[in-house]
Amino acid sequence: MKTILAALACGLIFGAGLVISGMTETQKIHGFLDIFGAWDPSLLVVMAAAVVVTFFGYMLARRQRAPLFAARALWPTRTEIDLPLVGGAVLFGVGWGLIGFCPGPAIVDLATGAPAVIAFVAAMAIGMIAQNRIRGRQRSLNREAALEAGGD
């Protein structure tokens, strides 16, 4: 129960930060991405402030034996810069540039009830599900190949 309430509070604070910083306005994102137009560097300030606060928060978290409400912290472990990372980032960048929405602001803006936002988030969910499926299939194919090769 504590983890659920903590997550709810974190979602609220995160969402409030996005609204207050203006990152829920696609026009503000386009203003940042349009470096050859009337450039609006607000997004850089948002990221810088968020990264600095996160950096110190994570430093504290590294010193914890365990998180307050969970058995252990799940830190990312992958380090490779591979095709999925690069290809995925390119595809994401195209979508982000076209609409001005990344996942967080799009979900926050569901609160407006605007049909265009709902359509975007529905398509985004389908994209995520499709990617999950492909990854799951890839994983089982890899397992079969390893078995056939006599590996483990």
Partner 1 sequence: MTSFTPLSAAIGGGLIGLAVALLMLLNGRIAGISGIAGGLLSFRRREWRWQIAFLIGLVAAPLLLHAAGYGLPHPAMPASWAVIVIGGLLVGFGTGWSGGCTSGHGLCGMARLSPRSIAATLIFMVTAMIVVFLARHVLGAAL
Report in angstroms how near the CB of residue 144 gets to partner 1 at its nearest. 20
Q: What's the rounded Cα separation, in Å, for the pair 4 and 54? A: 21
Any contact of residue 52 with partner 1 (CB under 8 A)? Answer: yes
Among the residues of the chain, which ranges form H helices?
A: 2-21, 26-33, 42-63, 83-99, 103-108, 115-148
Q: CA 68 to CA 54: how far, in whole Å? A: 17
Residue 137 touching partner 1 (CB under 8 A): no
Return the residues of window 70-129 that contact partner 1 according to CB under 8 A.
70-76, 78-81, 84-112, 114, 116-117, 119-129
By CB under 8 A, residue 61 contacts partner 1: yes
Binding-residue total with partner 1 (CB under 8 A): 118
Is-contact 42 28, C-beta < 8 A? Answer: yes
Cβ 148 to partner 1, closest distance in Å? 26
Q: Select from 34, 141, 145, 147 the one that contacts partner 1 (CB under 8 A).
A: 34
Using CA atoms, how far apart are residues 147 and 74, in angstroms rounded to an integer? 29
Q: In Å, how far are 60, 138, 139 from 145, measured between CA atoms?
A: 43, 10, 10
User: Token digits for 122?
Assistant: 């529905």
Nearer to partner 1, 102 or 151 (CB): 102
Min CB(80)–partner 1 separation in Å: 7
Output 100 or 148, the one with its CB closest to partner 1: 100
Does 45 contact partner 1 by CB under 8 A?
yes
For residues 116 and 119, what is the distance between their CA atoms, to the nearest angstrom? 5
Q: Which is nearer to partner 1, 111 or 147 (CB)?
A: 111
